[in-house]
Chain A
Amino acid sequence: MKVLGFDTATDDTVVAASDGGRPVFEGTVPPNEGRPLHSQALLAMAGEAADALGGWEEVGRIVVGAGPGTFTGIRIGVATAAGLAASSGITVVGVSTLSALALGIGELTGADRVMPLVDARRGEVFGCLHDGEGRPIGESFVCGPEELVERLSDADRAGPVPVVAGSGAVRFRDELLRAGLETEPAGSSVHRLAGRSICELGATAERTGTETLKPLYLRVPDAQLWLERDGKTN
């Protein structure tokens, strides 16, 4: 199957294409001075990836990392996937950005228990315990460093220490090290999502309709929190 995969939930814009499991295109556009270039880079790179597969007509499946990550990034990715699918009739599949990250971590380190972490800003991370092949073992969560260390020690008791990586691990590397949890230095490729992981996860995912293509925000809008807390408008 010819698969085109992409993800814009992290600050990187990540696109890849694979043909029968063989990678034929892989591209990453990092943020520019901290500003993600999702809107400018995503479809341009997706067009190149489609060309590498022989054109849009040849694409058999579109896979999108649906989050968690930045809200605007998630929406650019999911809206793009939904638009491509609606217009072309190509099957679309949404996968968890954390699961794709976990798959990459597992491949790079050989670990069979991994904890992918995506920087959730506001002093928090998105995370979810996975096996080494990108299959979640627990629920996705969002939390600060203290709770994260607790969760990792809980995970500890249930099995071997997971390998911790991703932008969230870089963000809280000091806190993790203090708790005795090793992570690779910031520049290591283990922390970055690879487009081929999106393709690989999506290629084997259950075929789903566009109605199941849902963004994975993991957080409600602030305004809703305030409304629920105050019981009135802010």
Chain B
Amino acid sequence: MPLLAIETSCDDTCAAVLDGPTVLSNVISSQADHERYGGVVPEVASRHHLELAIPVVEAALSDAGAGFDDLEAVAVTAGPGLIGALLVGLSTAKAIAAPRRLPLIPVDHLRGHVAANFLEPEPLEPPFLCLVASGGHTFLAAVRDHGGFEVLGETLDDAAGEAIDKAARMLGLGFPGGPELERLAADGDPDAFTFPVAMSRDPGLDFSFSGLKTALVYICRDLGEAGTAERAADLAAGFQAAVVGQLTTKLRRALDQEPWPAVALGGGVAANGPLRRAVAQLCAERSLPFKEVSRELCTDNAAMIGSAARFTEPIAYPDYLRFDAFATGPRGGG
């Protein structure tokens, strides 16, 4: 019973076809154009989504060996995200579903990141603790069932990925900064510069990354342009280690507070190698299973939206025709 899922909350135009927990196709069209703007420009992203939406949907169907006739439901990200971008995906999904009277399943994007862990192969069964870190969000989720999650702690300012992107820009790297910063950091000494260990004395599970960013601004200012360029690898390594350090510290603390049978990751930052290794080591120390989903399922994609849709109440035709997107709003879905 194939399900079509569409995701357009930020700058990637994504469509996937799923059969239950099995991903039949997962097409991600990244918009390279944002590199020249040094970040995601909502209007530029929305224009690309409109151009790419139908071709990406058709590619997903074709990769899955399916056609519109085979579909039994359409899932789509309803929020949170860039409202203009979301509206392209939602309008497309509603319009695909309506003439076939298919049910529509609106999905919370953040639940999608958690639900990537429910996919084959080796789906992870709740309960588990999930760290979601991306360019837009950073939070620790208590996943007690398939239908939602509880936020145990979240960033009080920048998201981890946002901080990494800003650091990458200060070091003269392209956008998105994550992969480039990781590559540069591989040649650097993480201990060459001292970055503040943010929120370490805070007993809670919240995160903060703006202090790290400010520290980097001051270090770069002291080093000057040439000095910064010369020490870029060390700076990248130090900054990355500080981000990874904070994420794993909070994860460790959450595990100390409550026993969890497994740990999972989600979001674009979860594709970061050093973070994966640090979390794997933390789990190994405690003999906890660590669910490592593929990088493709960590960054924004539609398969994770289809996965969350399996545990979301569908809306029958014609009840969803008035359904609207939300830029910010409910999270966790219960």
**Chain A positions near chain B (C-beta within 8 angstroms):** 39-44, 46-47, 50, 56, 71-72, 75-76, 78-84, 86-88, 90, 210, 215, 217, 221-224, 227, 233-234
Contact = CB atoms under 8 A, between A and B. Distances in A.
B201 interface: no
A70 B96 CA distance: 23
B92 interface: yes
Contacts of A81: 95
Contacts of B322: 40-41, 43-44
B68 interface: yes
A210 B58 CA distance: 13
B38 A222 contact: no
Contacts of B68: 86-87
A215 B48 CA distance: 11
Given A223-B41, A233-B36, A88 B100 contact: yes
B29 interface: no
Nearest to B100: A87
Interface stretch (B83-91, B140-148, B244-252, B285-293): B83-91
Given A40-B323, A87-B68, 10 more contacts: A43-B95, A43-B321, A47-B98, A47-B321, A50-B99, A72-B46, A76-B88, A88-B100, A215-B47, A224-B44
Given A43-B321, A227-B36, A83 B92 contact: yes
Nearest to B34: A223
Contact of B92 (A40, A42, A56, A82): A82
Interface in B84-142: 84, 87-88, 90-100
A221 B44 contact: yes
Given A80-B94, A233-B36, A75 B321 contact: no
Nearest to A219: B43
B224 interface: no
Nearest to B95: A83
Task: Select the residue from A40, A47, A50 with max chain B CB neighbours within 10 A.
Answer: A47
A110 to B, nearest CB: 37
B84 A80 contact: no
A227 B38 CA distance: 11
Given A39-B90, A79-B50, A223-B43, A84 B98 contact: yes
Contacts of A39: 87, 90-91, 324-325
A43 B94 contact: yes
B99 A71 contact: no
Contacts, number: 110
B54 interface: yes
Majority secondary structure, A binding face: helix
Contact of A233 (B38, B46, B100): B38
B91 A87 contact: no
A233 B91 contact: no
A86 B58 contact: yes
Nearest to B86: A39
A218 B90 CA distance: 24
**10 shortest interchain CB distances as A-B pairs:** A83-B95, A79-B91, A56-B99, A44-B321, A233-B38, A221-B43, A88-B99, A223-B41, A87-B96, A83-B92
Nearest to B57: A86
B14 interface: no
Contacts of B321: 43-44, 47
A71 B83 CA distance: 12
